[in-house]
Amino acid sequence: ALDVGRPPDAAPDALPDAAPDEGPAITCAVTPELAEVAPLTPLVLAGPPGDAIRRWTWQITERPAGARPVLAEFFEGGAARPDFVETPQITFRGDRAGTYGLTLQVVGQGGAALCPPLQVAVRVRPPEGLYAQLTWTSPFDPCEACDDGVDLDLVMAPRDRACWGSGSTWTARPGDARDWPPEGSPEGDPGGVSIVEDGAGLEAMGVPTAPGLMVYALGVLAFDLTVDNGLPGPPAEWPADAVLALYWDGLWLGEFETQLSSTGQVQHLVDVFTCVGAGCRPDVQVVGRAGVWGTCAE
């Protein structure tokens, strides 16, 4: 999992009450101040430059419930940082749909604030059509963020072709077969969105709005990345608590929870019955049925 450091309501160290530094004038602005991006899309934010500035302090001050946003230093290979980053430019990634707020404080060479706190608002909006996000935690795993131990995979396919672990499954795992829809079929393009992260990362999938009615099965597969891949190290420590969030045309459909307790376990969580027409809302039916690896959805 990505460590987001101090809680969002924590404040940076208080700045001294001092007169503004003397020196060259700077432009107190952040570029951009407002932005809208898709989930997990990197967004570069730039504060005012200048030799008169000693420190730039970025802080995430607002986030949707359950979100795990990331700030990273803006350089090649920059590592993820906590909520507080001290660099003139950063890359921001928001994982859940909703509005995120950031604040930049600019401190001069003399230790006083050169600008009032600069505000940034970022709206994270899923793409049009059906969009699914899978997040999970495995609190007993030795390293949730590592590429071993517990791993969950998101499964999504037309219900009549949802085969857990077979070649006709469309999942967020790179390299898995994506042989639907058949060539020339109007059933929706499976190439809309696909995000995968090992460990306790987020997985996401999206399907652009289909011209006709469709039923999609969504489920979760559990893996032990250490044992299943023959890697050295201790086996995964279960259980894993998973949350599936669904959106339609950027609007919230709901969250669905499940728990997986062993490698190879499959959960068929929900079926989504799409709709046609502006402002329509798909029907989501909870299935909550354990599947069997290598078999198809009923």
Contacts of 28 (CB under 8 A, 6+ apart): 48, 106, 114, 115, 116, 118
Predicted local distance difference test score (pLDDT) of residue 113? 95
Cα 231 to Cα 255: distance, rounded to the nearest angstrom: 33
45 band by pLDDT with thresholds 50, 70 and 90: very high
State whether residue 227 is helix, strand or coil. Answer: helix
pTM, entire model: 0.69
Cα 258 to Cα 296: distance, rounded to the nearest angstrom: 20
282 band by pLDDT with thresholds 50, 70 and 90: very high
211 band by pLDDT with thresholds 50, 70 and 90: low
Cα 178 to Cα 15: distance, rounded to the nearest angstrom: 55
**Checking DSSP bridges between strand 34-37 and strand 118-124, what pairing results, if any?**
parallel
Cross-strand pairs, 283? 273
Contacts of 259 (CB under 8 A, 6+ apart): 239, 240, 241, 242
Cα 235 to Cα 229: distance, rounded to the nearest angstrom: 11
> Does residue 76 register a pLDDT over 50?
no
> Does residue 82 register a pLDDT over 60?
no
CA 275 to chain centre: 26
Predicted local distance difference test score (pLDDT) of residue 19? 44
Cα 58 to Cα 56: distance, rounded to the nearest angstrom: 7
Cα 166 to Cα 155: distance, rounded to the nearest angstrom: 11
297 within 8 A of 164, measured Cβ to Cβ: yes
> Does residue 207 register a pLDDT over 50?
yes
CB atoms within 10 A of CB 254: 11
Task: Determine the average pLDDT of the residues in 138-144.
Answer: 79
Predicted local distance difference test score (pLDDT) of residue 190? 46
Token couple for 165: 């672990």
Contacts of 85 (CB under 8 A, 6+ apart): 57, 58, 71, 72, 73
State whether residue 159 is helix, strand or coil. Answer: helix
Which carries the bigger pLDDT value, residue 81 or residue 1? 81
Which carries the bigger pLDDT value, residue 212 or residue 249? 249
Task: Determine the average pLDDT of the residues in 82-92.
Answer: 73
Averaging pLDDT over each range in 11-15, 37-41, 173-177, 246-250, which range is the top one?
Answer: 246-250
Contacts of 203 (CB under 8 A, 6+ apart): 133, 134, 152, 153, 154, 172, 195, 196, 197
Token couple for 189: 């393009």
Predicted local distance difference test score (pLDDT) of residue 279? 87
For the chain, domains (ranges, CATH) are: 34-124 (2.60.40.10), 130-291 (2.60.60)
Q: Lowest mean pLDDT: which of 225-234, 244-253, 265-274?
A: 225-234
Predicted local distance difference test score (pLDDT) of residue 198? 52
Predicted local distance difference test score (pLDDT) of residue 196? 56
What are the pLDDT digits (tens) for 60-70? 999 988 787 88
The mean predicted confidence, pLDDT, of the chain is 76
Element (H, E) at 226: helix 225-228
Token couple for 151: 């791993």
Name the nearest CA neighbour of 97 among 76, 124, 71.
124
The answer to whether the Cα torsion of 56, 62, 64, 65 is positive or negative is positive
